[in-house]
Structure formats: C-alpha cells, structure tokens
C-alpha cells in the first residue's frame, strides 16, 4: 500500500555522466508544503521533473500516495497537478479555449473550467488570446490548469515567476488553502520570503546536493529576522568552492537588507 503523500527514496539523476542530483531521501505527508530552494542549476527542476514522471531517476524510487514511479503510470499521473517552468500555451487560443481544452482532457465539466479561470483572476480575460498575455497572466493560466482536477498533490516549478506582488500574495493564499484541504504541495522558488509564507518544510540545494532540510519554523527560530535567506546564505558560505551567492537577500518583505 505505502504511505500517503510524497516520498523520495535515495533519488539521484545523472545526465551525460554528470550527477545533477545526488542521492537524497525525503518524505512529505499530506497537508504539508515543501519548498525547494537553491541557486541556478541547483537541481530543483530536475527533481520536480522526476517527481511528475517526465524524467526517470537514475537511482531510487518516488512514491505519490504510495504509487511508485514507473508503475501504474496513469494512476501515478492522476495524483499530480504540474506547473512546469518552461511551458508555452498555443498562442492563437484564447484563455477560455485553452482551459476548456485541458478540462476536456481531464474529463471535467465546463463549470470547473470557468471556476478556475475566476480563481486565478482571468475571468474577464477569457476571450483574449494567450499569445497576448503577459508572463504573469500566462503563469496564472498555467496554475489554473494545474489545479483544474483538484489533484491530491501539486508540483509547481517557480510558480511565482513573473507574478506581481498582488498575485504573489494571492497565490500564497491559494496554496495555504490547498494545504488546509489536506493536499500536498512541492514547489521550487528563488523567493525565500514566499517559502517562509507558505511552506512547512524546506530543502536547500546546491549543485545537486541537499545541503540542509527541515521545518521552515526551525530555520526561522534559529536565524530570527533573517529567516530562510540568512539560513541559505550561511549554508552557501560553508560550501567548498562556491561563490557567495546574494540570492534571497533583500527579498524578505520589510527586511532591512
Ligand atoms: N537535459 C539536460 N542535459 C544536460 N544537463 C542538464 C539537463 N537538464 C538539466 N541539466 C543540468 O542539471 C543541473 C540542474 O538543472 P536544473 O534545471 O534542475 O536546476 P534548477 O535548480 O532548476 O535551476 P534554475 O533555478 O536555474 O531553474 C544544471 O547543471 C543543468 O545544466
């Protein structure tokens, strides 16, 4: 049977002889949110692509609600709503045509398609072509298709990328609502203030290695006002041969920098 939620067991990925994700294990129970934090090339998207089944792990096993990667593939995929970081919608379709298409693929009715467009604030833009959408509007549409079927697990690759502050906050609130309904979320981000606002757990990555992980609260207790940004800066400083990254600094709301 296996346990509910998400489980990565000794997962690694090697691409063309280069180990881009070193073996790591982590378990995320239902109703919890996990943030993957790390600089460019840290391995966040690779972990998320393996999690949704787009990439096959070189070693290890991933389980979503007890179902293993590579087995009962349809049942596995149905557990997950995925928001990739590099997806382009068909530019000639309107927002409504796009979301109705995805709803049809998932066997959902038009009411649900209408509802998710409202949830992401695109109801009034439904007849606009997606090719004319801003980056932030495209992100919101991408989020809409991820939540369409109300899957038990959401996998979101940099969901706040391109969003204005209002929509960053709104997305954070939506994710808190998803969590309260007992579903699990894993998302990658460079915005550590968002991770603090939404996530229960955090994994810090550097060059494919998990350099630390645990409850967001415990990092915030340890680092006080500096929060996750201070934690990450210190972890990175301790990494051998790594340039000191400024990522995360100055991104805390109301932070003194
Ligand atoms: N198809 C590929 N072929 C070769 N190398 C790859 C491939 N996909 C990813 N990599 C490498 O794997 C490493 C991790 O990449 P990944 O996209 O997972 O990082 P990331 O943490 O998501 O980065 P970013 O924050 O910049 O999006 C990088 O060094 C990248 O160059």
Among 6, 4, 64, 3, smallest CA distance to 203 is for 6
254 confidence band (pLDDT: 50, 70, 90): very low
Q: What is the pTM of this model?
A: 0.91
Tens digits of residue pLDDT in 19-60: 999 999 999 999 999 999 999 999 999 999 999 999 999 999
Nearest CA residue ID for atom 30, ligand 1: 41
Q: What is the ipTM of this complex?
A: 0.97
Q: Whose CA is nearest to atom 16 of ligand 1?
A: 43
- How many domains would you assign to the chain? 1
pLDDT tens column, 213-240: 999 999 999 988 889 999 999 999 988 7
| Token pair 């530019």: residue | 91
CA of 158, closest atom in ligand 1: 27
Q: Give the tens place of pLDDT for each residue, 168-203.
A: 999 999 999 999 999 999 999 999 999 999 999 999
Helix (H, G, I), strand (E, B) or coil at 231: helix
Determine, yes or no, domain membership for 114.
Answer: yes
Q: pLDDT-derived band of residue 119, with 50, 70 and 90 as boundaries?
A: very high
Domain assignment of residue 143, yes or no: yes
Is the CA virtual torsion 115, 159, 172, 74 positive or negative? Answer: positive
Asked if 79 contacts 184 with a C-beta cutoff of 8 angstroms, the reply is: no
Is 103 among the domain residues? yes
Q: Which two tokens stand for residue 20?
A: 């881009």
* Complete DSSP assignment for 160-211: TTT--HHHHHHHHHHHHHHHHTT-EEEEEES-HHHHHHH-SEEEEEETTEEE
Q: Would you say residue 115 has pLDDT above 80? A: yes
Q: Is residue 213 part of a domain?
A: no
Pocket of ligand 1 from Cβ distances under 6 Å: 15-16, 20, 38, 40-46
- Residue 69: predicted pLDDT: 85
Question: Residue 130: which domain range?
Answer: 88-150
195 found inside a domain: no
Find, among 42, 52, 57, the residue nearest to 10 by Cα.
57
pLDDT at 71 over 70: yes
Secondary element (H or E) of residue 143: helix 135-147
């Amino acid at each position: 049977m296996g346990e509910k939620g998400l489980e990565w067991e000794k997962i690694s990925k090697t691409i063309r002889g280069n180990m881009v994700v070193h073996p790591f294990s982590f378990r995320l129970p239902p109703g919890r949110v996990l943030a993957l934090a790390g600089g460019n090339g840290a391995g966040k998207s690779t972990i998320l692509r393996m999690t949704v089944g787009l990439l096959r792990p070189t070693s290890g096993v991933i389980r979503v609600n007890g179902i293993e990667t590579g087995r009962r593939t349809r049942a596995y995929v149905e557990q997950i709503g995925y928001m990739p970081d590099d997806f382009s919608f068909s530019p000639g379709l309107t927002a409504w045509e796009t979301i109705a298409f995805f709803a049809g693929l998932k066997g959902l009715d038009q009411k649900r398609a209408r509802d998710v467009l409202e949830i992401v604030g695109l109801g009034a833009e439904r007849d606009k072509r997606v090719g004319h959408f801003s980056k932030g509007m495209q992100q919101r549409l991408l989020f809409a298709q991820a939540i369409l079927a109300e899957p038990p697990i959401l996998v979101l690759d940099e969901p706040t990328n391109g969003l204005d502050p209002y929509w960053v906050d709104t997305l954070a609130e939506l994710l808190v609502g998803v969590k309260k309904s007992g579903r699990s979320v894993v998302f990658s981000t460079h915005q550590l203030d968002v991770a603090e606002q939404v996530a229960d757990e955090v994994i810090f990555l550097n060059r494919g290695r998990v350099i630390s992980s645990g409850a967001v609260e415990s990092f915030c207790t340890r680092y006080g006002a500096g929060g996750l940004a201070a934690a990450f800066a210190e972890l990175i400083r301790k990494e051998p041969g790594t340039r000191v990254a400024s990522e995360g600094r100055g991104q805390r709301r109301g932070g003194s920098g």
